[in-house]
Each structure stands twice: as structure tokens, then as C-alpha cells.
Amino acid sequence: MNIWQHQLEQAGLAPIHAKVLAGERLSFDDGLQLYSTPQLPLLGYLANIVRERKNGNVAWWVRNQHVNYTNVCNKGCLFCSFYARPKDDPRAYVMSPEQAAHKVSNYGDVPITEVHVVGGVNPRLPYSYYIELLQAIKAARPKAHIKAFTMVEIDQIVRCSKKSAEEVFEDLKAAGLDALPGGGAEVMSERVHEDLFAAKPNAARWLELAQAAHRCGLKSNATLLYGHVEQTREKVEHFVRLREVQDHSLANTSGGFLTFIPLSWHPEKTALESLPAPTGVEDLREIAVARLMLDNFPHIKSFWIMNSAPVTQSALWFGADDVDGTIMEYEIIRDPTRDRKQVLTSRQLVEMIVEAGRDAIERDPLYNIISRGFENVRDAQSVEQVLVDAHADESQPQANLQIMRRDEIVTAAQGQKNRAFEKGLIGAEAVGAEHR
């Protein structure tokens, strides 16, 4: 018996270890035990067995660009600092398809292989807008894959199209859609849904749309937003439901889930900003438990924007095999100093992976290999950083810039602190006189 086996025995994890070695599926109760055990390194050891069985020593990264086409949203989620109210919000914006194409063209000197397109649920946008948006981006970047629209956005697109979900997916594919991201389900719990994001489609609808996408041959991702008011049992149930849908999709369609991304919640500028943010320890636990529970998902990603680059390096030994990519611009959450200009250059990404002891492989959105190690990584001053500094804030309302530094900017979510208090999610002292 080696030291790991001894420690696993002492922690009561030997039965789970045996299942992991045999490639057996972990149960709901196993998931609860993984969350409750205090020995985080043991979770990393177990998760790394699965991670290396599926992906060896490889860590994937991608040259990608995020485009948030609108921040206008009518869903009113208490945990989200991104969205602006549909009416009379100085932070609100909607990009025209031409503006989105220009945004993509700004980074023409970077060999981007993925354009990641998401936004708020804006009830004023017609069906034609989404088709034209994809067409414009594809015309500006014909060789790049477009990964666009969470299932929450798809639900709105289906509504305004007056078509079936399958018909909508075929239209979107014809316009340039190649894959779908994973956000919007947050936590598959009716309790949390009611408390935090009741206006969004529920878990059943999210899964129904994911299955429709898979039937149309589309690959998609899935996420879990953690660190707010969710409970452990709800997270384990989230994994079980995703796992069941993936079983069905893999058996019956050419689509399916490619990657699972645990998303570390950021409380800043939300209705729940008085709650503590998740710690790095929690981030690593979520990565590890996800890798162990989601045995039929090929990849687990540590999203460096939300987890930080140092935690993401550690996560590569706690079950993660993907670090995401260059990003270029991001405003779902903000960096307190860089604001929307959130980029890791191709060299920084490769160095981050190599420093962690993994083999860096550049991928496209479908995990086709683009380059290995430092191939195609420039030694001169990074063009990615230069272009981000030059173009990231173009066409943005002044009220939507540097919002973390500006106390006078009150987000739509911050304006809902009374609602959070009425639900018992925050105390009266967290509401503040300006919101009473």
C-alpha cells in the first residue's frame, strides 16, 4: 500500500478510489462524500487519474475572442453584474451585426479559431437579428468557428422565431453557427432558480434545448455557477442530470457535450455583493468533483477569467485539462484594473501550462489540434495585447467602462437588493439606504 492508498483508506475514500480505478460511475452519495471530505489533495489525486486517462498530460488552449453583442437583458438575475435594464439604463448597448463584424475584424492579425458570442436576453431583437449577426461575423472571419448563444438565449430566439427549436438550430447553422457555449443553467435547482433567476428558463427547458441542439449535430458545453446560495446536494443533482442527458445524446445523436466548466461566482456589483466570493480551495474542489462525477464528458475546463491564472495552473492537477484562451475582451465579470480588457496572450497561456508541468496544445473549438508547445507563438511584443488596448472599448457607453472603480455606477442587479433582502438572501445592513 503506497502513501496515497493509505491516505485514501484513512479518509474513507477507498471505495471511491476503487470505482475510479475500475472506471465505474460514481453515485449521488459518492458526490456528497467528495464535497464533504476535508482532504483536498486526495480529491486532486482521484480526479487526476480520470483526467490523465482521458487526456494524458495534455492541457488545451485556444486563440479565441469574446463578443458580447448586447448587455440588455430582461431576466433580472440577482447574481449578475453584466446586464443592463431594457429601459433607461445608461450602461445599455446593442451592437449591430456590422459593429460585431467590425469588432471581429479588429483582431484580424491574430489567428483566432473561435469567436465566442453571447449576450443578454433582449426582447426587442427580432429573429432576423441573430441570423444576420452570425452571417456578419462569419463573413468577417470565415475560417473561425462561431460558438454562440447559451440555451437561455436560444429559448428567446425560438420564441421570437415562431419555429421549433430544431428548425431554429438548422437556420443558425446555415448562418454560421458551429457550436454552443454552456452558460445559463446556473444551478439545476428549482429553489435557486426561484430565488435568483426565476425569469430564466428552468433546468428542464435548458436540458430540452441542449438535447435538441445535439439532435441537430451540434456540440455544446455545460456549466455550473457556484459559490452563492446553492447547496451541496443541488450541485450533485446538477451533475447527475447533465450526465443522464449526455448518456442519451452520445447514444442517439452526433452531438453532445464537449466540455464542462465550473464557473466561480463573482459578487462584485450584484445584489448579493455582501456575500463572500468563492476561495481558490473551493475552485479546485469544484474542478475535481466535476471531473469525477462527469465520467462521460471528454473535457473539464478551468476558466482562468473566473478562477485566476494561478488557480487554473493548479487546476490542471485537480482534473482540468483546458484553460480556455486569449479571450481579448470580457465583461460578464470585470477585472478591477483591466476592466473589459481581459486577455492572456498566446505566449502567456503556453508558459502558464508549461510551468504547471503539462503539455500545451492549441486547439480549435472541437479540439482539433492547431499547434503544439511554442509553435506559432510570437516572441515579439504580443499583438493580442496591443490590439486589445487599442480596440476593446470601442463603441462602449461611457457608463459601461471601469464600473468596478466607479461607485456612482449602480448596476441593474445592485438595484435589486430589496428583492434579495425580501427573499432572505442578504441582511438589512447589506441593502444600504440608497436601495431602501
For residue range 64-120, list pLDDT tens digits in order: 999 999 999 999 999 999 999 988 899 999 999 999 999 999 999 999 999 999 999
CATH number of 51-425: 3.20.20.70
Name the grid cell of 122. 433582449
pLDDT at 381: 54
Mean pLDDT of the chain: 95
Helix/strand/coil percentages in the chain, nearest 5: 45, 15, 40
**Position with higher pLDDT, 1 vs 390:** 390
State the residue for C-alpha cell 476558466: 303
Q: Where are the domains of the chain?
A: 51-425
Residue 289 confidence (pLDDT) above 80: yes
SS3 46: helix
| pLDDT for residue 376 | 85
- Reading the block at residue 229, the C-alpha cell is 446560495
Give me the pLDDT at residue 436, please.
47
**Can you give the pLDDT at residue 432?**
72
Put simply, whether the predicted model's pTM sits higher than 0.75 gets the answer: yes
For residue 187, count other CB atoms closer than 10 A to its CB: 23
C-alpha cell at 91: 450602461
What is the Cα–Cα distance from 280 to 278, expressed in whole angstroms? 7
Q: What is the pLDDT of residues 208-236, one digit of tens each?
A: 999 999 999 999 999 999 999 999 999 99
Q: Which residues make beta-bridge pairs with 220?
A: 180, 257
Over range 138-166, report the average pLDDT. Answer: 98
pLDDT of residue 378: 75
* pLDDT band of 56, cuts 50, 70, 90: very high
Pairing between strand 359-363 and 369-372? antiparallel
**Residue 188 above 70 pLDDT?**
yes
% residues pLDDT > 90 (the chain):
89
- Identify the bridge partners of residue 362 per DSSP, sorted by sequence position: 61, 371
Q: What is the spatial order of strands in the sheet that 359-363 belongs to? A: 322-325, 58-62, 359-363, 369-372
When pLDDT is averaged across residues 347-375 and rounded to a whole number, the result is 96
Q: What is the pLDDT of residue 379?
A: 62
Q: Using an 8 Å Cβ cutoff, are 65 and 116 in contact?
A: yes
